[in-house]
Amino acid sequence: MRFVSINRRTVERGALAAASGLLAGYAALATAELTASLVRPQAGPVTVIGESAIDRTPPALKDFAIRTFGQNDKLVLQLGILATVGLLAALLGVLALRRRRTGAAGVLAFGALGAAAALSRPDTAGAGDVLPSLVGAVTGALVLYLLVGKVNGPAAQPSGADRTGNAAADSGADSGADTGRDGDRDFTGSSGGSAAWNRRGFLFAAGATALLSTGAGALGRALTGRRGRGAAASRAAVRLPSPASAAAPIPAGAGLRIPGISGFTTPNEDFYRVDTALVVPKVDADTWRLRIHGKGVSRPRSYSFAELLQRPLIERDITLTCVSNEVGGPYAGSARWLGVRLADLLREAGVRAPSRGGPADQLIARSVDAMTLGTPVEEVMDGRDAMLAVAMNGEPLPFEHGFPVRMVVPGLYGYVSACKWIRDIELTTFDAYDPYWVKRGWARRAPIKTQARIDTPKPFARTPAGTVMVAGVAWAQHRGIERVEVRVDDGAWQEASLAAQATTDTWRQWSFPWKPTPGGHHLTVRATDGTGEVQTERRTRTIPDGASGRHSVFVTAG
């Protein structure tokens, strides 16, 4: 009985200490968030640790995360960080029960870790970025110290007195006293009156901590939201000029009306998003500038957003694709972009293509969040519609897609061309500099591979009796799609009918009416690009330069 009872008391004290740790962690994160809202929202500890983790994640794990969690990968990462912080905080709380100073010091150590992560971010704004982690850690350490002090009692009890307390509590429990009183004794191990006070003291302190922290967190969120308001206002004020060179009208037959097929144009809200930003950069277009400089730039230039809008703009339909897209995967989308022809700006700056004797063969685009992307200068200047886009499907770029300005280059995967929130273009060479993804094992040059995707029927679908419409999209940007063929099981390749091709830079819809025999069937698709090359059946992983192989689905016909 006594043994069991001591155990229960220990468990109770442990639980209260763990709760103190959790509250300390909560207070730390909330005050850190509030401080970050005043300093720089991107400098919050969860963000800097999360982004550091993203940068250090081995490509195979990143691939797995994208495959498993898709667009939710960032949410999963943040929840993982919060769960880890919670667990560590609870453990520190229990540790603090025995060693109060050590527990508090542990919280400070995590603050130092956050501060170091903040300073090592490539987009760090300097020493101020350590503040959120430090303020949070000091708050957390204080909260832990105070709360655990209340769990332990007003004055530290020598172990003998502690035993007495146990005995007192035991007798209370044994004599049928309610657990509340039992708990009261537990706090002090001495007189009941002061015990009651102290329990109330703990509850009061814990409640106040929870309340104040929630307030601080909410205030932080509100202030961060307000910070983005200047950017939102500048976006709302954008008047998009009409293009000097309008997009060719989309041919009437480019969009098939088949349920389940990807629309020819992807609405902005459905457009895939791939980037490393845990906090979407909110850039004020009124203060934004773009610098062009580097090797072979005889006239370095800088442009404001308004200056870009005053230039002749081109409008083009272009399909974007991510190198992380698996065969049959969702990371491709097509939009109508409006922007400034990038080659014109480069020529104004005195840049010549490598084939014309220019010394720079790589263009490094830098974003406000310090992402770097390397694009071949030759491709940008070879006459294709490489642009600095200011609008997507008739509206200013959504913040998620790079407001105010991003790059778009037909035919190249996003990671070597499509810099969002761009702020700087530097001309250099492939020998001299490796950008972000190349440092992590991805190829320096990455033209988009020819792919065809079956959008409908879905994998493992049961199709009703009768003719089944098999349909999807195929892309080989800047080469175009010449043919799409479908194979049922191990049969012969049969030609699908193609929707009209808008331009060689966009994907092309295809359809294939199929009269299946009842039972299970494998449907496989392959495309032939505008150069006559048939999509390879050789399967490769996404890293280093994009997945190859053919998309195939298994369906059961009714």
Ligand X SMILES: Nc1nc2c(c(=O)[nH]1)N[C@H]1C(S)=C(S)[C@@H](COP(=O)(O)O)O[C@H]1N2
Region binding ligand X by CB under 6 A among candidate stretches 123-131, 137-145, 268-276, 450-458: 268-276
360 binds Mo ion (CB under 5 A): no
Contacts (CB under 6 A) with ligand X, residues 318-357: 320, 322
275 binds ligand X (CB under 6 A): yes
Residue, CB closest to ligand X: 414
Binding map of Mo ion across residues 33-52, x = CB under 5 A, - = no contact: --------------------
> Which is nearest to 40 in space by CA: 119, 139, 137, 140?
119
Tell me the closest approach of the beta carbon of residue 393 to ligand X, in angstroms.
Answer: 12
**CB distance 507 to 474 below 8 Å:** yes
**Angle CA 437–441–447, to nearest 5:** 65
Size of the site for ligand X (CB under 6 A): 18
DSSP assignments along 104-150, one per residue:
HHHHHHHHHHHHHHHHHSTT--SGGGGHHHHHHHHHHHHHHHHHHHH
Instruction: Please say whether the dihedral angle defined by the alpha carbons of residues 242, 244, 247 and 249, taken in this order, is positive or negative.
Output: positive
369 binds ligand X (CB under 6 A): yes
Going across the sheet that includes 462-463, the strands are 462-463, 552-557, 519-529, 481-488, 494-495
361 binds, among ligand X, Mo ion, none (CB under 5 to 8 A by kind): none
279 binds ligand X (CB under 6 A): no
Contacts (CB under 6 A) with ligand X, residues 421-450: 421
**Angle CA 67–71–74, to nearest 5:** 100
In whole angstroms, what is the distance from residue 238 CA to residue 345 CA? 21
Region binding ligand X by CB under 6 A among candidate stretches 30-38, 117-125, 186-194, 367-375: 367-375
274 binds ligand X (CB under 6 A): yes
Question: Is 446 strand, coil or helix?
Answer: coil
**What does residue 286 show for φ and ψ, rounded to 5 degrees?**
-75, -25
> Which is nearest to 339 in space by CA: 319, 320, 316, 368?
316
Widest Cα–Cα separation across the chain: 96
User: Which residue in the set 172, 414, 480, 516 belongs to the binding site for ligand X (CB under 6 A)?
Assistant: 414
User: Which residue in the set 273, 293, 311, 487 belongs to the binding site for ligand X (CB under 6 A)?
Assistant: 273
212 C-beta neighbours (distance < 10 Å), count: 15
Binding map of ligand X across residues 499-528, x = CB under 6 A, - = no contact: ------------------------------
User: Which residue in the set 189, 414, 546, 549 belongs to the binding site for Mo ion (CB under 5 A)?
Assistant: 414
31 binds, among Mo ion, ligand X, none (CB under 5 to 8 A by kind): none
* CB-nearer residue toward Mo ion: 268 or 501: 268
* CB-nearer residue toward Mo ion: 33 or 275: 275
Region binding ligand X by CB under 6 A among candidate stretches 103-111, 416-424, 439-447, 494-502: 416-424
Crossing angle of helices 100-120 and 2-39, in 10° steps, is: 30
User: Which residue in the set 322, 360, 454, 523 belongs to the binding site for Mo ion (CB under 5 A)?
Assistant: 322
Instruction: Please say whether the dihedral angle defined by the alpha carbons of residues 424, 427, 432 and 436, taken in this order, is positive or negative.
Output: positive
290 binds ligand X (CB under 6 A): no
Region binding ligand X by CB under 6 A among candidate stretches 176-184, 230-238, 270-278, 494-502: 270-278
149 binds ligand X (CB under 6 A): no
Query: Where does this chain bind ligand X (CB under 6 A)?
Result: 271-276, 320, 322, 367, 369, 371, 401, 414-415, 418-421
